[in-house]
Amino acid sequence: MYLCKKNTINKKKINIDKLKARFLQTDVIHNEQIINFYRESEPDLKKTTINWRIYSLVQMGALNRIGRGKYILGNKQSYVPEIQPKLIKLDRLLKKNLPYLNYCLWSTSLLNEFMLHQPGKFFFIVEVENDAADAVFYLLKEFKYSVFLKPTKELLNRYLPEGKEVWIVKSLVSEAPVLNIKGIQTTTLEKLLVDLFTDSDILDAQQGAEKNRIFEEAFDKYIINENKLLRYAARRRKKEQIDNYLNKVSKYRQ
């Protein structure tokens, strides 16, 4: 990482307008392309100076970093998942009864924004440290939640209650990329996409053509850190499969 103080980069030399015009039709901008862009007008420009310029462009939002040495023009949003009132209520319950617990709360309804066909049922997901899963499960049972502990697809199909909100307690993978929103730990988009790929029992309604659509829509609409995504995929022992899958569905891979 290159630390850059304000005003140490000459904005005229960065030439943002010309850079945007050059790469307007480019899905992914690679480091070497940016280096070549600047050396066209300044042939002897040092790479360290260009790296400072790239860092400044990212800080200003002109570029978004999507992977190591890979960028897109800064016209995408950062993903901020919705925290539903029911998750806020559960967060308070967990903090009161299990104050030292590490957990991640989210809803499968987050995927609806990327889908063509909307599923009629969604789940609230409570991911916790593996050795705390039983304690959380029984706590939710005590408070009359309709809850499953690490369910299989068959179990969900057979015993899913009609007309009730369903909560699922599952293990939180160590070093999972999570996001803290107003004190509540929830999922990042990178984590959500890997979970979609690996947790097909729970996310059965989002498989097949819908899974492809979700990935494509997510990459089109939001900034996605591919390195973060693949690190988490490695933690879930799916790095190679997801890496190959992204080659098929993502136009941002070159």
| Domain extent at residue 22 | 11-73
Residues 98 and 67 in one domain: no
How far does CA 221 lie from the centroid of its chain?
Answer: 12
Let me know whether 149 and 114 are in one domain: yes
- The answer to whether position 78 is within a domain reads no
Q: Which of 144-148, 163-167, 207-211 has the lowest mean pLDDT?
A: 163-167
pLDDT of residue 67: 84
Residue 38 and residue 127 share a domain: no
Choose one of 45, 73, 101: the last residue of a domain.
73
In this prediction, residue 196 carries a pLDDT of 95
User: Are residue 157 and residue 208 in the same domain, yes or no?
Assistant: yes
Secondary structure of 76-127 in the HEC alphabet? Answer: CECCCCCCCHHHHHHHHHHHHHCCCCCEEEEEHHHHHHHCCCCCCCCEEEEE
Over range 3-19, report the average pLDDT.
63
Amino acid 5: pLDDT: 40
- DSSP tag of 62: S
Residues 123 and 236 in one domain: yes
Number of domains composing the chain = 2
With a cut of 80, say whether residue 10 has pLDDT above it. Answer: no
Across 187-207, average pLDDT: 94
What average pLDDT does the structure give for the chain? Answer: 89
- Residues 137, 169 contacting (CB under 8 angstroms): yes
Query: What value does the CA radius of gyration of the chain take, rounded to a whole number of Å?
Result: 22
191 and 243 inside one domain = yes
Same domain assignment for residues 120 and 56: no
Residue 162 is assigned to a structural domain of this protein? yes
Residues 6+ away with beta carbon under 8 Å from 35: 47, 50
Local structure of residue 222 (DSSP, 8 states): B
Query: For the segment 83-118, what is each residue's pLDDT rounded down to a tens digit?
Result: 999 999 999 999 999 999 999 999 999 999 999 988
User: Is residue 60 domain-shared with residue 92, that is, in the same domain?
Assistant: no
